[in-house]
C-alpha cells in the first residue's frame, strides 16, 4: 500500500480531525469525530470498500515510546525488533507519528517488513518530531489530548517501550482507564535492560500504601520483544 497515503489535517476548528487513505484519484475520506465514531464519508468505488475492510479488519497495536535518538542503541534495536515482529505477525502498528527516536525506529522497521503503519501526531510536534512520510496513514490532530484519545480508541492492544515523561503519561492513562473498566485491552511493557524496574517498584509502593489496587493486574511485563509479541498473538487474534 506504499504510495497510497495522503496526509491531511482538520480545517474545522475543534470539530474533528480527518485523514485520507486510498489512491489519490479516488480517496476514501474518513472523519474521526471527537466522539470517536468512524464514518465512511465517501465511497466512490467498490475497491474502496475492500480497502476499508483490509484496514479495519486487522488488529491494531499501539506503540508508546520515546522520540529521542541519543539513547543506548540497544533501546533503538529493541524498537526495530518490535516493529518487525508486529509486521510479520500481521498487526497494524499505530504510534505517535514521528520519524525519530524509538518511534521512528519501530515504525520504519514495520514498513520495511511489509506492515501497515498509522501515525497520529499533534500539529505542534510536526516540526520537532518530523512526520514519518513512509507511514500508510498520518493523522494530524489539534493537540496532544486529541492525539492520545484517537490512539487509545483505535487500538486493540498497547505496547510500552522505553520512553520519557510522555510515554509514562500514556502508560498511566491506559492503566487508569483499564482500572476504571473503560477498556479491557491488553497492556504490555517491554522492560529492555530493566528500564522499567524503578517504575514497577513504585507501582508496588502505591499498592502497599493503600493508594491503588495491585497495578500488576492491568499489564504484563516482558524482557524480550519475541516473548511479548508471542503473548500478543495469543491474546489478540489478527
38: part of which helix (H) or strand (E)?
Answer: strand 38-40
Residue 217 lies in a domain: yes
Residue 220 lies in a domain: yes
Domain that holds residue 161: 58-235
pLDDT the model gives residue 127: 73
What SS3 class is residue 73? helix
pLDDT the model gives residue 185: 97
Q: Tens digit of pLDDT for each residue in 161-214?
A: 999 999 999 999 999 999 999 999 999 999 999 999 999 999 999 999 999 999
Residue 97 lies in a domain: yes
Q: Tens digit of pLDDT for each residue in 97-149?
A: 999 999 999 999 999 999 999 999 999 888 766 788 889 999 999 999 999 99
Residue 62: beta bridge partners?
A: 94, 158
Residue 38 lies in a domain: no
Q: Tens digit of pLDDT for each residue in 38-72?
A: 334 444 555 555 555 555 567 999 999 999 999 99
Q: How far apart are CA 132 and CA 112, in angstroms?
A: 13
Residue 165 lies in a domain: yes
**CATH at residue 140:** 3.40.50.450
Q: Who has greater pLDDT, 168 or 13?
A: 168
Q: How confident is the model at residue 238 (pLDDT cuts 50, 70, 90)?
A: low
Number of domains within the chain: 1
Residue 46 lies in a domain: no
- Sign of the dihedral through C-alpha 46, 50, 51, 55: positive
Residue 40 lies in a domain: no
Q: pTM of this prediction?
A: 0.79
Task: Report yes or no: 132 and 101 within 8 Å, Cβ to Cβ.
Answer: no
128 DSSP 8-state letter: I
Residue 49 lies in a domain: no
Amino acid at each position: 500500500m506504499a504510495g497510497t497515503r495522503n496526509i491531511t489535517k482538520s480545517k474545522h476548528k475543534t470539530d474533528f480531525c480527518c485523514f485520507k487513505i486510498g489512491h489519490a484519484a479516488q480517496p476514501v475520506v474518513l472523519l474521526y469525530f471527537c466522539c470517536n465514531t468512524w464514518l465512511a464519508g465517501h465511497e466512490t468505488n467498490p475497491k474502496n470498500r475492500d480497502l476499508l475492510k483490509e484496514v479495519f479488519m486487522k488488529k491494531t497495536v499501539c506503540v508508546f515510546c520515546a522520540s529521542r535518538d541519543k539513547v543506548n542503541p540497544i533501546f533503538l534495536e529493541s524498537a526495530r525488533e518490535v516493529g518487525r515482529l508486529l509486521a510479520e505477525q500481521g498487526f497494524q502498528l499505530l504510534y505517535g507519528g514521528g520519524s525519530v527516536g524509538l518511534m521512528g525506529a519501530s515504525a520504519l522497521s514495520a514498513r520495511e517488513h511489509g506492515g501497515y503503519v498509522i501515525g497520529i501526531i499533534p500539529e505542534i510536534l510536526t516540526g520537532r518530531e518530523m512526520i514519518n512520510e513512509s507511514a500508510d496513514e498520518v493523522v494530524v490532530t489539534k493537540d496532544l489530548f486529541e492525539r492520545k484519545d484517537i490512539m487509545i480508541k483505535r487500538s486493540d492492544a498497547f505496547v510500552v517501550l522505553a520512553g520519557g515523561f510522555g510515554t509514562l503519561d500514556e502508560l498511566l492513562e491506559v492503566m487508569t482507564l483499564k482500572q476504571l473498566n473503560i477498556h479491557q485491552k491488553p497492556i504490555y511493557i517491554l522492560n529492555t535492560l530493566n528500564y522499567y524496574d524503578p517504575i514497577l517498584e513504585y507501582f508496588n509502593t502505591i499498592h502497599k500504601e493503600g493508594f491503588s489496587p495491585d497495578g500488576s493486574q492491568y499489564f504484563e511485563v516482558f524482557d524480550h520483544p519475541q516473548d511479548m509479541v508471542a503473548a500478543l498473538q495469543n491474546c489478540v487474534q489478527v
